[in-house]
Structure 1
């Protein structure tokens, strides 16, 4: 019986006088040469992104960074008020709210677009219509569609698509998403916007970001946004107002 293979890493290693990252000298090849966005792409995809890819990824990261007093921001503010000396606790707590409801649907939409592509490659016709009708019949939300605030259309989506077109990155996945949107409207009998996370899912596919990395990119982006909430919380103490509002507006009852 052969011995198990020894685990390896291609990500990075540190020695006494150097740091190697994916085959590159970090000190001389990466620091001061790659931006944060370029480094994020390089670590994830293994290659340095092209300028258009950087533009798209930058736009996606900025779009997801700040949405106001969302659950993740509220959670971070509550934690910052409770544990003010530990900013990493507040940020980590807020990031736990990124999931299938808030900001985490990017990869779900991307996975759906890949399934559509696979079905088309197998020779199936009218795939977008079939998918839209299946979701409508099951009364399930379509990943990447709908928004509680932005109606009738999500303005972030239009801007992201404009940037993609300007940089030659509005390709088959973005086109597939638009076509799916048309079929979703027909199946539901009403307009449902393509939201920003849906647009980001399509555009990240266009620039070759793995689906498994997409939610992590949402986390990376939102972490930056939460820093602003933490600093403001030190001045405003909005967590106390949120807490007081909950005590005031959520009635206690012993009825079953």
Structure 2
């Protein structure tokens, strides 16, 4: 009979008098002494973060929180209209849109940057191969292009400037810039580094693993969706959206 391994957790424990999170006493060490962003980094990394890392993550969270009436916001408003007693369901509906087309593309971009950084042939050669691979497959390069922000996404230079101001400008940012040059060269036109591309580089620089980067977008967008729910309760638009779609898409017999 095989012996089962005993699972453990290094995140939190509690007893009748205390709650310990990542080795810190929640009451004595954390409440009123750290910001939400610091707590988020502590939760992810197990260590109290340096101030520069907090400012970088803050920049990403602020950037990704809001972008207008996007598909995820529409989903949230419609579900809130259907079930106003279940705010969490409306937020969950919107978060389901954090994927490989919108918002969550930082995960894919980070994977490309890490592929470049570990390539024996160097950044430039691997970046060229990556872009050729995507072009031949008819796939967008994650982190590049935007339907509205042209020729450049205004958020990206500001985000990179924040990193530079904190003296955090290392291999991920270098790889992103090299990849950007190859995207433009292979496609024969300029494609902006979008906010998720910049987010991938910044989060990589502060040690956030690629496999949980999409979770940063989930945390940020959750707050944005709650704001839309409040506005929906005060200035409803879901019924108008529904009626507009109903009128705009006619029935057609097959």
**TM-score of Structure 1 vs Structure 2, range by shorter chain:** over 0.9
TM alignment of 1:188-203, pairs within 5 A = 188-203=187-202
Counterpart-to-counterpart distance in 2, 1:68 and 1:217: 19
Contact (CA 8 Å) 2:98, 2:104: kept in 1 or not?
yes
Q: Helix, strand or coil for the counterpart of 1:98?
A: coil
TM-score, normalised with respect to structure 2: 0.96
Checking the alignment, whether the CA contact within 8 Å between 2:124 and 2:179 is kept in structure 1 is no
* Cα contact 2:124–2:178 (8 A) shared by 1: no
Unmatched tracts of structure 2, length 5 or more: none
Structure 2 counterparts to residues 220-239 of structure 1, below 5 A:
220-239=219-238
Aligned to 1:74: 74
Superposed CA RMSD: 1.3
Structure 1 residue matching 2:20: 3-state secondary structure: strand
C-alpha separation in 2, matches of 1:140 and 1:35? 39
Q: Is contact 2:105-2:196 (8 Å) kept?
A: yes
The CA deviation at 1:158 is 0.9
Within a 5 Å distance, the mapping from 1:146-185 to structure 2 comes to: 146-185=145-184
Q: CA deviation at 1:48?
A: 1.2
| Partner in structure 1 of residue 118 of structure 2 | 118
| Unaligned segments of structure 1, at least 5 residues | none
CA contact (8 A) 2:204 2:210 kept: yes
TM-score by length of structure 1 reads 0.96
Deviation at 1:124, TM superposition (A): 7.9
| 8 A contact 1:144–1:196 mirrored in 2 | yes
- Asked if the contact 1:77–1:229 (Cα under 8 Å) also holds between the matched residues in 2, the reply is yes
C-alpha displacement at 1:137, in angstroms?
2.7
Is residue 44–residue 213 contact of structure 1 (8 Å, CA) maintained in 2?
no
Change (3 A) 1:72 1:26: same
Q: Is the 8 A contact 1:11 1:21 kept in 2?
A: yes
CA pair 123-145 structure 1, distance change in 2 beyond 3 A? closer
Q: Deviations over 1:118-147 (max 9, x none)?
A: 114x66862222222222233221010011
* Local SS of the residue matching 2:151: coil
Query: How far 1:2 moved relative to its partner?
Result: 4.9
Q: CA deviation at 1:7?
A: 1.4
Name the CA distance, whole Å, in 1 between partners of 2:43 and 2:123.
Answer: 36
